[in-house]
Amino acid sequence: MSVRTNVFGMLLCQLVLALGVWSGSVAARDLPELADLVDRSAPAVVNVSTEQIRTRGKRADSDAKDPMQEWFRRFMPKHPRIPRDEDEGDSMGSGFIISADGYILTNAHVVEDADSILVRLTDKREFRGRLIGADKRSDVALIKIDAVGLPRVPVGDSSKLRVGDWVMAIGSPFGFDHTVTAGIVSAKGRSLPDESLVPFIQTDVAINPGNSGGPLFNLKGEVVGINSQIYSETGGFMGLSFAIPIEVAMDVQNQLRTFGRVTRGRIGVVIQEVTKDVADSFALKSPVGALVSSVEKGGPAERAGVAIGDVILKFDNKPVATSSDLPRLVGATRPGSRSSMQVWRRGAVKDVALVVEEFADEAPEPRRVPPKRVEGAGTNRLGLVVAQLSSEQRRHYRGEIGVSVKDVRGVAARAQLQGGDVILSAARKGAPVEFRNVEQFNRFAASIEQGESVSLLVRRGDTQSFVSLRVPE
């Protein structure tokens, strides 16, 4: 019996080993082969180093900010030297050749304030780079070197990327030229703080200082993005990297090469996210679109009849799934173009036609207001005590519509409403309600049912946005 047991055990062990070898070979076959891809792609990747000469006073101001403490930081190492009278800072990044006659893409922050640009190729040749133009809004810059017959990268289509696809980066982290790292696409269409015009590709590819401006490749060897930012609490790689889609970069470089600058469209609205509670209060079936909380007087949207409380669902027949989609779609539209929008207004879909104007950096449009959403208990259904507008408030707001907030409790307090706020109107079940006096507001508040969502249009100072409240059951 023991012999049989031993024989059975040996057979079982052999089976387990065989399965392990088989599964290991399957796993190995599933992994991407990157060596050939690197051989084809690396010659078109370059190292970009810059020098900035600044006065000591300016250097002192810049060093007062510790870049290691930035939540979202661009990554480019700086190696300062201290001459006698001036301060010279060396910076290092990456780039890639997009044409055989020497046009190179990199990040705008790599060449920012550069007094000189040096481009080094894989064959150790060095060229002085000439800045054709840089666009800070997209963080894309175009450099030109005097050379011909250069290797160039093939340009791919980032829209064909799927979450989970393998991607590869080549760059110069910490000055180590042509370092290769790989990973997968973690997400698409990411919005980052103050970066509403770029739908970033998120990856887990190891990216560190010096990778800025380097290419992100798909497994076909096509460039699908420019590595631009990382999410880090330490300044080093923490598994979250962000790349600019190559379509955005190529559009920017084309404008820089043709016109020397980048133009973008604007329509003159301030928008905010549509949450579940906002959707309920506006009678939307699902939380999609961009909610208009303010309309610029005399701007394209006002001239087209767009109103506060409209929810923009489509722009030029392209869906606006989230509020961050709208600035990208509008920004990519050439000024002077006639465009169409589909909006949700009072429970129905409306079509609007307008002419897009040019975006001005000093007045960014369209701007997003962070949504406010809260659920909780209050001493009454809205937790608000209101009063008539004071004479000073009426003069400031040039009208008598609205009520002034005097006391905030419960649900309203959790939504961060505060004394002095002015409630102009509300949206309930898709219908707008304006408040001209305290009695109107109190009747409105008393009529709200338990579990119902309402959105209040609140003005604070010179800004206004919708605040969504859900009355507790």
pLDDT tens digits, residue range 320-338? 998 889 998 999 899 999 9
Pair 228, 171 in one domain = yes
Which residues on adjacent β-strands are paired with residue 470? 375, 453
- Answer with the residue of higher pLDDT: 428 or 126: 126
Task: Check pLDDT > 90 for residue 361.
Answer: no
pLDDT at 69: 39
109 catalytic? Reply is: yes
Q: 258 Cβ partners below 8 Å, 6+ apart?
A: none
Does the annotation mark 212 as catalytic?
Answer: yes
Of 196, 224, 259, the last residue of a domain is 259
Q: What pLDDT does 57 receive?
A: 46
Q: In 234-371, which residue ranges form alpha helices assigned H by DSSP?
A: 246-259, 276-281, 300-303, 325-331
**Cα–Cα distance between 52 and 90 in angstroms, integer?**
7
**DSSP bridge partners of 107:** none
In a domain, 319, yes or no: yes
Residue 179 lies in a domain: yes
- Do both 225 and 278 map to the same domain? no
pLDDT-above-70 percentage for the chain = 79
Last residue of a domain, one of 259, 277, 305: 259
Q: Is 79 annotated as a binding residue?
A: no
Catalytic residue among 212, 293, 294, 425: 212
107 annotated to a ligand binding site: no
Let me know whether 229 and 278 are in one domain: no
Catalytic hit among 41, 109, 277, 455: 109
Q: Report the distance separating Cα 105 and Cα 42, nearest Å.
A: 15
Read off the pLDDT of residues 226-257 as tens digits, 9 standing for 90 and up.
999 888 777 677 889 999 999 999 999 999 99
* CATH at 432: 2.30.42.10
Domain that residue 442 falls in: 384-471
Average pLDDT (5-23) is 52
* Paired tokens of 212: 């800025």
In a domain, 230, yes or no: yes
DSSP string, 54-92: E-HHHHHHHHTS-GGG-SEEE---EEEE--SSSEEEEEE
Confidence of residue 26 (pLDDT cuts 50, 70, 90): very low
pLDDT band at residue 445 under the 50/70/90 scheme: confident
Same domain, 389 and 320: no
Residues 407 and 419: beta-carbon distance below 8 Å: yes
The tens digit of pLDDT for each residue in 45-83 reads 999 999 876 544 444 444 444 443 343 444 444 333 323
Q: Which residue has the higher pLDDT, 347 or 185?
A: 185
Residue 212 counted as an annotated binding residue: yes
User: Taking Cα atoms as reference points, which of 373, 269, 283, 262 lies closest to residue 312?
Assistant: 269
- Token pair 């307008």 is found at 354
CA distances from 447 to 132, 441, 452 (A): 62, 10, 10
Q: Is 242 helix (H, G, I), strand (E, B) or coil?
A: strand
Regarding whether 231 and 178 lie in a shared domain, the answer is: yes
Radius of gyration of the chain (CA): 28
168 and 219 fall within a common domain? yes
The reply to whether 310 falls in a domain is: yes
Confirm if 129 and 143 have CB atoms less than 8 A apart: yes
Residues 173, 247 share a domain: yes
- If asked whether residues 254 and 292 sit together in one domain, one would say no
How many domains is the chain built from? 3
Residue 281 lies in a domain: yes
- Does any domain span residue 68? no
Residue 462 sits in the same domain as residue 439: yes
Contact yes or no for 98/152 (Cβ under 8 A): yes
User: 207 and 184 share a domain?
Assistant: yes
Q: What tens digit of pLDDT does each residue of 95-135 get? A: 999 999 999 999 999 999 889 999 999 999 999 999 999 99
Highest mean pLDDT among 183-197, 212-226, 379-393: 212-226
What residues form DSSP beta bridges with 141? 106, 134
Written as six digits, the tokens of 249 are 């970069």
Average pLDDT over residues 285-310: 93
Q: Are 459 and 270 in contact (CB under 8 A)?
A: no
Active site residue 172: no
**Entry pTM:** 0.70
Q: Tell me 297's DSSP state.
A: T
Of 468, 457, 450, which Cα lies nearest the Cα of 381?
450
d(CA 241, CA 230): 4
Give the mean pLDDT of 140-164.
Answer: 96
Enter the tokens of residue 123. 């064959």
> Is 133 a domain residue?
no
Q: Largest Cα–Cα distance in the chain?
A: 102
- Answer yes or no: is 211 a known binding residue: yes
Say if residue 249 is in the same domain as residue 272: no
Where is the domain boundary, 229, 259, 289?
259
pLDDT in tens, 456-469: 998 887 788 898 88
- According to the annotation, is 380 in a ligand binding site? no
Residues 177, 218: one domain?
A: yes
Catalytic pick from 87, 135, 139, 277? 139
Which residue from 195, 135, 204, 200 is spatially nearest to 169, judged by alpha carbons?
204
Contact assessment for residue 457 and residue 422, using Cβ atoms and an 8 Å cutoff: no
Instruction: Check: CB of residue 449 under 8 Å from CB of residue 382.
Output: no
- 139 assigned to a ligand binding site: yes
> Does the residue 25 lie in any domain?
no
pLDDT grade, residue 400 (50/70/90)?
low
Query: Ranked by mean pLDDT, which of 215-219, 233-237, 276-280, 419-423 comes out on top?
Result: 215-219
- pLDDT, mean over the chain: 82
- Residue 63 has a pLDDT of 44
